[in-house]
Amino acid sequence: MFDLTGKVAVVTGAGSGIGAAIAEVFADAGAKVYVAEIDNTSGAAVAEMIRQRGKLAQFIQVDVSDEASCGRCMKLVHAENEDRCDVLVNNAGVGSVGTVLTTTATDLDRLYAVNVRGTMFMCRAFLPAMIGAKRGSIINLASIAGIIAVRDRFAYTTTKFAIVGMTKCMALDHAASQVRINCICPGRVETPWVTARIAEYPDPVKAYDEMKSTQAIGRMGTPREIAAAALYLAADESAFITGSALIIDGGWSAGK
């Protein structure tokens, strides 16, 4: 089950955390994976680590907030794979802490540039060929913050709600083409970025305990758990799923 042998996959923001886990899991399932990352060092390291395990991976430097950069990414992937990309994962994203009163327009613009416009630009680059081939899976990384409001995360929540809406709209617009478009809405996931942010709190231990207690299950998720869901949405077994927002939040939203 969930065999991606022969498929070509592009994963943005794959230099660490959830993106890196998705790239690894896809490669283990047989896909040729393009590690699309703005940071040359981390992106190249993930691609090399995958190759060291005998799997197929290549690094592509891409700034998803730049439509021209997204277009260049698509052209490179298509040039090497006969104009084909089977799976696109829009994972690249940034965050911000603050309420509407403490968030500046610059803060909001920064998050929109990556989280929303970046997802749009990558879809605009890769979707036409998928439509032409009448196959493909696009997986957008939203958040539980795209389903329910998260305290003190005004800009982040705003952009993640936008991604859920974008996903549903694109899925509806292009369902007849057989291209499936879904999103994943994780709760808090213990990534290197989250760990680094926790370390910045005056009392990191207290902050960690508070963050894990948000989930009813009593812990944060792992990148591999989110990657497993992405694998399902990428595989042929999920052929009847489009326009869905898959919640993986340890029960955070169950009582909302």
pLDDT (mean) for 86-93: 98
pLDDT (mean) for 72-98: 97
pLDDT for the residue 69? 98
156 is catalytic: yes
pLDDT for the residue 256? 76
- Residue bearing tokens 């052929």: 239
pLDDT band at 127 (very low <50, low <70, confident <90, very high): very high
Question: What's the Cα-to-Cα distance from 29 to each of 15, 59, 98, 135, rounded to whole Å?
Answer: 19, 18, 39, 19
pLDDT (mean) for 160-177: 98
pLDDT for the residue 119? 98
pLDDT band at 215 (very low <50, low <70, confident <90, very high): very high
Residue 128 pLDDT > 80: yes
For domain 8-186+221-247, the CATH architecture is 3-Layer(aba) Sandwich (3.40)
Q: Average model confidence (pLDDT) for the chain?
A: 96
pLDDT for the residue 197? 80
Taking only the tens place, the pLDDT of each residue in 31-80 is 999 999 999 999 999 999 999 999 999 999 999 999 999 999 999 999 99
From 122, 23, 136, select the one nearest 73 (Cα to Cα).
122
Active-site position among 34, 112, 156, 208 = 156
pLDDT for the residue 193? 80
Q: What percent of the chain has pLDDT over 70?
A: 100
Which position has the higher pLDDT, 199 or 124? 124
Residue 201 pLDDT > 90: no
Residue 192 pLDDT > 90: no
Q: Give yes or no for a contact between 29 and 2, defined as CB atoms under 8 angstroms apart.
A: yes
pLDDT for the residue 55? 98
pLDDT (mean) for 88-114: 97
Residue 198 pLDDT > 90: no
Q: How, if at all, do strands 137-141 and 180-186 pair?
A: parallel
Q: What strands, in cross-sheet order, belong to the sheet with 137-141?
A: 57-61, 32-37, 8-12, 87-90, 137-141, 180-186, 245-248
Taking only the tens place, the pLDDT of each residue in 105-122 is 999 999 999 999 999 999
pLDDT (mean) for 87-103: 96
What are the domain boundaries of the chain? Answer: 8-186+221-247
